[in-house]
Protein backbone atom coordinates (compact mmCIF):
# COMPACT_ATOMS: atom_id res chain seq x y z
CA UNK A 1 0.00 0.00 0.00
CA UNK A 2 1.22 3.49 -0.83
CA UNK A 3 0.65 6.59 1.25
CA UNK A 4 2.02 9.96 2.28
CA UNK A 5 3.64 10.22 5.68
CA UNK A 6 5.84 12.53 7.74
CA UNK A 7 7.69 12.07 11.02
CA UNK A 8 10.01 14.09 13.25
CA UNK A 9 11.51 16.71 10.98
CA UNK A 10 10.91 14.67 7.81
CA UNK A 11 8.43 16.45 5.53
CA UNK A 12 5.59 14.54 3.84
CA UNK A 13 6.85 11.95 1.35
CA UNK A 14 5.81 8.67 -0.28
CA UNK A 15 5.85 5.51 1.81
CA UNK A 16 5.19 1.85 1.14
CA UNK A 17 3.51 0.03 4.00
CA UNK A 18 4.93 -3.36 4.90
CA UNK A 19 3.29 -4.76 8.02
CA UNK A 20 3.76 -2.22 10.78
CA UNK A 21 6.78 -0.74 9.04
CA UNK A 22 6.78 2.01 6.47
CA UNK A 23 9.47 1.99 3.84
CA UNK A 24 10.52 5.58 3.15
CA UNK A 25 10.70 5.71 -0.65
CA UNK A 26 12.35 9.13 -0.64
CA UNK A 27 15.26 7.60 1.28
CA UNK A 28 15.27 4.49 -0.93
CA UNK A 29 15.49 6.79 -3.93
CA UNK A 30 18.30 8.87 -2.41
CA UNK A 31 20.23 5.65 -1.81
CA UNK A 32 20.05 4.98 -5.53
CA UNK A 33 17.85 1.90 -5.48
CA UNK A 34 15.59 3.22 -8.24
CA UNK A 35 18.44 4.24 -10.53
CA UNK A 36 18.25 1.13 -12.68
CA UNK A 37 14.50 1.33 -13.17
CA UNK A 38 14.51 4.39 -15.39
CA UNK A 39 12.22 6.38 -13.15
CA UNK A 40 12.60 9.81 -11.64
CA UNK A 41 12.98 9.30 -7.85
CA UNK A 42 11.85 12.87 -7.09
CA UNK A 43 8.24 11.60 -7.40
CA UNK A 44 8.78 10.04 -3.95
CA UNK A 45 9.70 13.38 -2.37
CA UNK A 46 6.30 14.93 -3.08
CA UNK A 47 3.54 15.51 -0.49
CA UNK A 48 0.94 13.71 -2.66
CA UNK A 49 0.99 10.55 -4.78
CA UNK A 50 -0.14 12.27 -8.00
CA UNK A 51 3.29 12.46 -9.68
CA UNK A 52 4.07 8.88 -8.71
CA UNK A 53 0.68 7.78 -10.07
CA UNK A 54 1.39 9.64 -13.32
CA UNK A 55 4.41 7.38 -14.00
CA UNK A 56 1.89 4.81 -15.25
CA UNK A 57 1.25 1.13 -14.67
CA UNK A 58 4.39 -0.31 -16.33
CA UNK A 59 6.57 1.85 -14.06
CA UNK A 60 4.46 0.93 -11.01
CA UNK A 61 4.94 -2.74 -11.78
CA UNK A 62 8.71 -2.36 -12.03
CA UNK A 63 8.79 -0.44 -8.75
CA UNK A 64 6.64 -2.97 -6.93
CA UNK A 65 8.69 -5.90 -8.15
CA UNK A 66 11.82 -4.10 -7.03
CA UNK A 67 10.36 -3.28 -3.59
CA UNK A 68 9.27 -6.89 -3.11
CA UNK A 69 12.79 -8.05 -3.84
CA UNK A 70 14.24 -5.56 -1.37
CA UNK A 71 11.72 -6.48 1.32
CA UNK A 72 11.93 -10.24 0.84
CA UNK A 73 15.68 -10.35 1.02
CA UNK A 74 15.63 -11.17 4.72
CA UNK A 75 19.13 -12.55 4.90
CA UNK A 76 20.89 -9.30 4.30
CA UNK A 77 21.53 -6.34 3.58
CA UNK A 78 18.81 -4.00 2.78
CA UNK A 79 17.07 -3.79 6.13
CA UNK A 80 20.24 -4.05 8.16
CA UNK A 81 22.29 -1.64 6.14
CA UNK A 82 19.54 0.85 5.59
CA UNK A 83 17.49 0.70 8.75
CA UNK A 84 16.92 4.45 8.41
CA UNK A 85 14.65 3.63 5.47
CA UNK A 86 12.16 1.87 7.77
CA UNK A 87 9.94 3.77 10.17
CA UNK A 88 7.51 2.20 12.60
CA UNK A 89 3.96 3.28 11.84
CA UNK A 90 3.49 4.46 15.44
CA UNK A 91 5.98 7.26 14.76
CA UNK A 92 4.39 8.79 11.69
CA UNK A 93 1.68 11.21 10.83
CA UNK A 94 -0.35 10.30 7.76
CA UNK A 95 -1.57 12.81 5.18
CA UNK A 96 -4.23 12.82 2.49
CA UNK A 97 -2.58 10.55 -0.10
CA UNK A 98 -3.67 12.34 -3.27
CA UNK A 99 -4.45 15.83 -4.45
CA UNK A 100 -8.09 15.31 -5.33
CA UNK A 101 -9.39 17.37 -8.22
CA UNK A 102 -12.85 15.87 -8.36
CA UNK A 103 -14.95 13.46 -6.38
CA UNK A 104 -17.97 11.52 -7.59
CA UNK A 105 -20.14 9.32 -5.40
CA UNK A 106 -22.02 6.45 -7.03
CA UNK A 107 -25.01 4.57 -5.67
CA UNK A 108 -24.00 1.12 -6.84
CA UNK A 109 -24.91 -0.87 -3.72
CA UNK A 110 -28.27 -2.24 -4.78
CA UNK A 111 -29.41 -3.45 -1.35
CA UNK A 112 -28.63 -0.03 0.11
CA UNK A 113 -30.56 1.65 -2.72
CA UNK A 114 -33.54 -0.63 -2.09
CA UNK A 115 -33.45 -0.08 1.67
CA UNK A 116 -33.26 3.70 1.32
CA UNK A 117 -35.95 3.71 -1.36
CA UNK A 118 -38.29 1.83 0.97
CA UNK A 119 -37.65 4.34 3.78
CA UNK A 120 -37.69 7.58 1.79
CA UNK A 121 -40.48 6.64 -0.67
CA UNK A 122 -42.55 4.04 1.20
CA UNK A 123 -45.40 3.92 -1.31
CA UNK A 124 -43.35 3.48 -4.45
CA UNK A 125 -40.99 0.94 -6.02
CA UNK A 126 -37.83 0.93 -3.87
CA UNK A 127 -35.65 1.27 -6.96
CA UNK A 128 -36.26 4.14 -9.37
CA UNK A 129 -36.77 3.05 -13.00
CA UNK A 130 -33.24 4.01 -14.07
CA UNK A 131 -31.41 2.01 -11.40
CA UNK A 132 -30.74 -1.18 -13.37
CA UNK A 133 -29.94 0.75 -16.56
CA UNK A 134 -27.16 3.07 -15.44
CA UNK A 135 -24.85 3.59 -12.44
CA UNK A 136 -26.51 6.52 -10.65
CA UNK A 137 -24.13 9.08 -9.10
CA UNK A 138 -23.74 12.69 -8.03
CA UNK A 139 -20.74 15.00 -8.16
CA UNK A 140 -19.47 15.51 -4.62
CA UNK A 141 -17.12 17.95 -2.96
CA UNK A 142 -13.39 17.19 -3.20
CA UNK A 143 -12.25 19.96 -0.85
CA UNK A 144 -13.79 18.40 2.25
CA UNK A 145 -12.30 14.93 1.83
CA UNK A 146 -10.02 14.30 4.82
CA UNK A 147 -7.51 11.61 5.67
CA UNK A 148 -8.38 8.83 8.09
CA UNK A 149 -8.09 9.93 11.71
CA UNK A 150 -9.27 13.49 11.12
CA UNK A 151 -12.08 14.36 13.57
CA UNK A 152 -15.48 15.06 12.02
CA UNK A 153 -17.43 18.03 13.34
CA UNK A 154 -21.17 17.47 13.52
CA UNK A 155 -22.67 19.77 10.88
CA UNK A 156 -25.39 22.29 11.52
CA UNK A 157 -28.03 22.87 8.91
CA UNK A 158 -31.66 23.09 8.00
CA UNK A 159 -34.07 20.19 8.40
CA UNK A 160 -37.65 19.47 9.39
CA UNK A 161 -38.35 19.19 13.10
CA UNK A 162 -40.84 16.80 14.71
CA UNK A 163 -43.69 19.14 13.71
CA UNK A 164 -42.52 19.14 10.10
CA UNK A 165 -41.39 22.77 10.37
CA UNK A 166 -38.07 23.87 8.86
CA UNK A 167 -35.60 24.41 11.67
CA UNK A 168 -31.87 25.12 12.01
CA UNK A 169 -29.38 23.45 14.31
CA UNK A 170 -26.92 20.60 14.76
CA UNK A 171 -27.88 17.54 12.72
CA UNK A 172 -29.79 15.03 14.83
CA UNK A 173 -29.19 12.20 12.37
CA UNK A 174 -25.47 11.99 11.66
CA UNK A 175 -24.52 8.76 9.90
CA UNK A 176 -21.65 6.98 8.17
CA UNK A 177 -21.61 5.24 4.79
CA UNK A 178 -19.35 2.24 4.18
CA UNK A 179 -17.91 2.63 0.69
CA UNK A 180 -14.87 1.85 -1.41
CA UNK A 181 -13.04 4.70 -3.12
CA UNK A 182 -11.22 4.35 -6.44
CA UNK A 183 -8.17 6.54 -7.00
CA UNK A 184 -8.03 7.42 -10.69
CA UNK A 185 -4.62 6.64 -12.17
CA UNK A 186 -4.80 7.99 -15.70
CA UNK A 187 -6.47 10.93 -17.37
CA UNK A 188 -8.65 10.88 -20.48
CA UNK A 189 -8.92 13.91 -22.72
CA UNK A 190 -12.03 16.07 -22.54
CA UNK A 191 -14.45 14.76 -25.16
CA UNK A 192 -12.97 11.24 -25.23
CA UNK A 193 -14.96 8.46 -23.60
CA UNK A 194 -13.37 5.34 -22.09
CA UNK A 195 -14.33 1.91 -23.48
CA UNK A 196 -15.36 -0.82 -21.08
CA UNK A 197 -12.39 -3.08 -21.85
CA UNK A 198 -9.93 -0.28 -21.05
CA UNK A 199 -11.72 1.12 -18.00
CA UNK A 200 -9.65 -0.69 -15.36
CA UNK A 201 -6.45 0.80 -16.83
CA UNK A 202 -7.69 4.06 -15.31
CA UNK A 203 -7.70 2.77 -11.73
CA UNK A 204 -4.53 3.34 -9.71
CA UNK A 205 -5.83 1.90 -6.48
CA UNK A 206 -8.58 1.34 -3.98
CA UNK A 207 -9.27 2.82 -0.55
CA UNK A 208 -11.91 2.59 2.12
CA UNK A 209 -14.18 5.61 2.12
CA UNK A 210 -16.66 6.97 4.66
CA UNK A 211 -19.25 9.30 3.14
CA UNK A 212 -20.47 10.91 6.38
CA UNK A 213 -24.12 11.88 5.92
CA UNK A 214 -26.53 14.09 7.88
CA UNK A 215 -29.78 12.28 7.13
CA UNK A 216 -32.15 14.99 8.39
CA UNK A 217 -30.45 17.65 6.27
CA UNK A 218 -30.25 15.27 3.31
CA UNK A 219 -33.89 14.26 3.49
CA UNK A 220 -35.10 17.89 3.43
CA UNK A 221 -32.77 19.19 0.72
CA UNK A 222 -32.23 16.31 -1.71
CA UNK A 223 -35.09 16.76 -4.13
CA UNK A 224 -34.84 17.58 -6.98
CA UNK A 225 -31.05 17.94 -7.44
CA UNK A 226 -29.57 15.42 -5.01
CA UNK A 227 -27.25 15.56 -1.99
CA UNK A 228 -25.68 18.88 -0.97
CA UNK A 229 -25.05 20.04 2.61
CA UNK A 230 -26.11 16.68 4.01
CA UNK A 231 -22.86 15.31 2.54
CA UNK A 232 -20.40 18.11 1.80
CA UNK A 233 -19.20 18.80 5.36
CA UNK A 234 -16.73 15.88 5.30
CA UNK A 235 -15.81 12.53 3.77
CA UNK A 236 -12.98 10.32 5.06
CA UNK A 237 -10.42 8.52 2.90
CA UNK A 238 -7.94 5.81 3.94
CA UNK A 239 -4.38 6.99 4.38
CA UNK A 240 -3.11 3.98 2.40
CA UNK A 241 -4.00 3.21 -1.21
CA UNK A 242 -4.00 -0.45 -2.28
CA UNK A 243 -2.71 -0.88 -5.84
CA UNK A 244 -5.55 -2.12 -8.03
CA UNK A 245 -3.45 -5.09 -9.23
CA UNK A 246 -3.45 -6.46 -5.67
CA UNK A 247 -7.18 -7.15 -6.01
CA UNK A 248 -6.69 -9.56 -8.93
CA UNK A 249 -6.96 -12.78 -6.83
CA UNK A 250 -10.39 -11.65 -5.63
CA UNK A 251 -11.99 -10.98 -9.01
CA UNK A 252 -15.46 -12.54 -9.33
CA UNK A 253 -18.54 -12.34 -11.49
CA UNK A 254 -20.95 -9.65 -10.43
CA UNK A 255 -24.66 -10.12 -9.93
CA UNK A 256 -26.68 -10.94 -13.01
CA UNK A 257 -27.61 -7.63 -14.58
CA UNK A 258 -31.22 -7.84 -15.65
CA UNK A 259 -32.26 -6.17 -17.89
CA UNK A 260 -29.02 -6.41 -19.84
CA UNK A 261 -27.36 -2.97 -19.81
CA UNK A 262 -26.92 -1.05 -23.04
CA UNK A 263 -23.89 -2.20 -25.06
CA UNK A 264 -21.50 0.48 -23.82
CA UNK A 265 -21.92 -0.86 -20.26
CA UNK A 266 -21.63 -4.56 -21.08
CA UNK A 267 -18.58 -6.29 -19.61
CA UNK A 268 -16.83 -9.27 -21.14
CA UNK A 269 -14.92 -10.43 -18.05
CA UNK A 270 -15.62 -10.76 -14.33
CA UNK A 271 -15.20 -7.25 -12.98
CA UNK A 272 -16.48 -7.45 -9.41
CA UNK A 273 -14.36 -8.23 -6.34
CA UNK A 274 -14.81 -10.47 -3.32
CA UNK A 275 -13.67 -8.11 -0.58
CA UNK A 276 -14.87 -8.45 2.99
CA UNK A 277 -15.81 -5.21 4.68
CA UNK A 278 -16.80 -4.31 8.20
CA UNK A 279 -18.00 -1.38 10.26
CA UNK A 280 -16.72 -0.96 13.80
CA UNK A 281 -18.07 1.55 16.31
CA UNK A 282 -16.40 2.71 19.47
CA UNK A 283 -18.42 4.89 21.84
CA UNK A 284 -16.41 6.93 24.36
CA UNK A 285 -15.23 4.66 27.16
CA UNK A 286 -16.04 1.35 25.45
CA UNK A 287 -14.30 -1.29 23.40
CA UNK A 288 -14.64 -1.48 19.65
CA UNK A 289 -17.82 -3.24 18.49
CA UNK A 290 -18.31 -4.74 15.02
CA UNK A 291 -21.78 -3.61 13.94
CA UNK A 292 -21.82 -4.77 10.33
CA UNK A 293 -20.09 -7.25 8.03
CA UNK A 294 -20.62 -7.08 4.30
CA UNK A 295 -18.80 -7.58 1.00
CA UNK A 296 -17.98 -5.59 -2.13
CA UNK A 297 -19.66 -8.34 -4.14
CA UNK A 298 -22.99 -6.64 -3.34
CA UNK A 299 -22.22 -3.79 -5.70
CA UNK A 300 -24.59 -4.02 -8.65
CA UNK A 301 -22.35 -1.99 -10.97
CA UNK A 302 -18.64 -2.74 -11.34
CA UNK A 303 -15.77 -0.26 -11.05
CA UNK A 304 -15.31 -0.52 -14.83
CA UNK A 305 -18.95 0.29 -15.50
CA UNK A 306 -18.76 3.33 -13.21
CA UNK A 307 -15.75 4.69 -15.14
CA UNK A 308 -17.34 4.02 -18.52
CA UNK A 309 -20.61 5.65 -17.60
CA UNK A 310 -18.85 8.63 -16.00
CA UNK A 311 -16.96 9.40 -19.20
CA UNK A 312 -19.41 8.28 -21.91
CA UNK A 313 -20.46 11.86 -22.62
CA UNK A 314 -16.86 13.06 -22.79
CA UNK A 315 -16.20 14.00 -19.16
CA UNK A 316 -12.47 13.94 -18.45
CA UNK A 317 -11.21 12.04 -15.43
CA UNK A 318 -7.97 13.27 -13.92
CA UNK A 319 -5.21 11.59 -11.94
CA UNK A 320 -6.14 11.70 -8.25
CA UNK A 321 -9.89 11.94 -8.77
CA UNK A 322 -11.91 9.85 -6.33
CA UNK A 323 -14.83 7.73 -7.50
CA UNK A 324 -16.68 6.25 -4.54
CA UNK A 325 -18.95 3.26 -4.96
CA UNK A 326 -21.92 4.25 -2.80
CA UNK A 327 -22.89 2.51 0.40
CA UNK A 328 -22.32 -1.23 0.34
CA UNK A 329 -24.98 -3.25 2.15
CA UNK A 330 -25.68 -6.96 2.09
CA UNK A 331 -29.04 -8.65 2.19
CA UNK A 332 -29.53 -9.14 5.93
CA UNK A 333 -29.62 -6.63 8.76
CA UNK A 334 -26.17 -7.54 10.06
CA UNK A 335 -24.65 -6.46 6.77
CA UNK A 336 -25.93 -2.93 6.30
CA UNK A 337 -23.45 -0.16 5.52
CA UNK A 338 -25.20 2.76 7.26
CA UNK A 339 -26.98 3.48 10.55
CA UNK A 340 -29.95 4.66 8.50
CA UNK A 341 -30.45 1.02 7.53
CA UNK A 342 -29.16 -0.59 10.74
CA UNK A 343 -31.64 1.42 12.85
CA UNK A 344 -34.40 1.27 10.24
CA UNK A 345 -34.52 5.01 9.79
CA UNK A 346 -34.13 5.65 13.50
CA UNK A 347 -37.13 3.53 14.48
CA UNK A 348 -35.19 0.58 15.93
CA UNK A 349 -32.19 1.52 18.07
CA UNK A 350 -29.16 -0.62 17.44
CA UNK A 351 -27.78 -2.28 20.60
CA UNK A 352 -24.03 -1.76 20.65
CA UNK A 353 -23.50 -3.39 24.04
CA UNK A 354 -25.45 -3.74 27.27
CA UNK A 355 -25.22 0.01 27.93
CA UNK A 356 -25.26 1.78 24.60
CA UNK A 357 -27.83 1.99 21.83
CA UNK A 358 -27.75 4.15 18.72
CA UNK A 359 -30.13 5.31 16.06
CA UNK A 360 -27.58 7.79 14.68
CA UNK A 361 -24.11 8.86 15.82
CA UNK A 362 -23.45 10.55 19.17
CA UNK A 363 -20.69 13.07 19.75
CA UNK A 364 -17.55 11.19 20.70
CA UNK A 365 -18.41 8.09 18.66
CA UNK A 366 -15.59 6.70 16.55
CA UNK A 367 -16.44 4.89 13.32
CA UNK A 368 -13.85 2.59 11.80
CA UNK A 369 -14.22 0.89 8.42
CA UNK A 370 -11.99 -2.07 7.62
CA UNK A 371 -11.65 -4.49 4.77
CA UNK A 372 -9.63 -7.09 2.99
CA UNK A 373 -9.58 -10.04 0.64
CA UNK A 374 -8.89 -13.55 1.89
CA UNK A 375 -8.82 -16.57 -0.38
CA UNK A 376 -6.69 -19.72 -0.73
CA UNK A 377 -3.99 -18.39 1.53
CA UNK A 378 -3.81 -15.09 -0.31
CA UNK A 379 -4.58 -12.03 1.68
CA UNK A 380 -4.81 -8.38 0.82
CA UNK A 381 -5.43 -5.83 3.54
CA UNK A 382 -7.45 -2.79 2.50
CA UNK A 383 -6.40 -1.00 5.67
CA UNK A 384 -8.91 1.15 7.48
CA UNK A 385 -10.51 4.57 7.68
CA UNK A 386 -11.44 6.11 11.00
CA UNK A 387 -13.11 9.26 12.27
CA UNK A 388 -14.45 10.53 15.59
CA UNK A 389 -17.49 12.79 15.84
CA UNK A 390 -16.94 16.17 17.52
CA UNK A 391 -19.77 18.31 18.83
CA UNK A 392 -21.00 21.02 16.46
Which residues of this protein are in contact with Mn ion, per CB under 5 A? 105, 177, 211
φ, ψ dihedrals at 219, nearest 5° = -65, -35
Nearer to Mn ion, 302 or 327 (CB): 327
CA distance 234 to 38: 39
Smallest distance from the beta carbon of 51 to Mn ion, in angstroms? 29
Q: Is 306 left (phi over 0), alpha (psi -120 to 50) or beta?
A: alpha
Element (H, E) at 120: helix 110-120
Q: How far apart, in whole angstroms, are the C-alpha atoms of residue 281 and residue 292?
A: 9
CA-nearest of 315, 299, 298, 297 to 307 is 315
Comparison of 211 and 341: residue with beta carbon closer to Mn ion: 211
Rg (CA), the chain: 21
Rounded to whole angstroms, what are the CA distances from 308 to 81, 191, 251, 293, 387?
Answer: 47, 13, 19, 29, 32
Give the pairing of strands 203-210 and 235-237.
Answer: antiparallel
Q: Which is nearer to Mn ion, 15 or 371 (CB)?
A: 371
> Whose Cβ is closer to Mn ion: residue 105's or residue 341's?
105
**Of 60, 111, 112, 310, which residue is the catalytic one?**
112
Q: Which is nearer to Mn ion, 305 or 327 (CB)?
A: 327
The CA–CA distances, whole Å, from 136 to 191, 327, 344 equal 21, 12, 23
DSSP assigned state of 260: P
Q: Which residue is nearest to Mn ion (CB)?
A: 211
Nearer to Mn ion, 47 or 226 (CB): 226
* 41: nearest Cα among 68, 66, 69, 10: 66
Q: Cβ closer to Mn ion: 211 or 384? A: 211
The least CB distance from residue 141 to Mn ion, in Å, is: 12
Q: Closest Cα partner for 238 from 320, 180, 302, 277?
A: 180
CB 310 within 8 A of CB 188: no
How many CB atoms lie under 10 A from the CB of residue 112? 28
Output the smallest distance, CB 87 to Mn ion, in A: 34
| Active-site residue, 139 included | no
Q: Which of 109, 83, 149, 182 is nearest to 337 (CA)?
A: 109
CB of 294 to Mn ion, least distance (A): 14
Is the distance from CB of 117 to CB of 209 less than 8 angstroms?
A: no
Minimum CB distance to Mn ion, residue 79 (Å): 41
Report the C-alpha gap between 355 and 285 in whole angstroms: 11
Q: How far is the CB of 190 from Mn ion (least distance, A)?
A: 26
**Residue 227 beta carbon to Mn ion: minimum distance, rounded to whole angstroms:** 8
Count other Cβ atoms within 10 Å, centred on residue 347. Answer: 8
Between the two ends of the chain, the Cα-to-Cα distance in Å is 34
Residue 378's nearest CA partner among 258, 202, 250 is: 250
CB of 127 to Mn ion, least distance (A): 16
Which residue lies nearer to Mn ion by CB, 150 or 167?
Answer: 150
Q: Which residues are catalytic?
A: 112
Amino acid sequence: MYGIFSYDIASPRVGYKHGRQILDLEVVGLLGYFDDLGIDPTVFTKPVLNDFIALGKPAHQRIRQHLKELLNDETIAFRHVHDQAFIDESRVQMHLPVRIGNYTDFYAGIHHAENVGRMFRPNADPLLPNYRHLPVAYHGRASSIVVSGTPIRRPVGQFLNADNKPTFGPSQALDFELELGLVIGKSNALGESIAIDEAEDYIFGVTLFNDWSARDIQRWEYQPLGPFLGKNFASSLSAWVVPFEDLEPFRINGPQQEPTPLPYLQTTQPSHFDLELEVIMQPVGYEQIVISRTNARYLYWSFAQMIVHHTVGGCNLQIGDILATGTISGTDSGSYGSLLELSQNGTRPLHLNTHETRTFLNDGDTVLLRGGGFSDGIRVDLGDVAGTVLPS
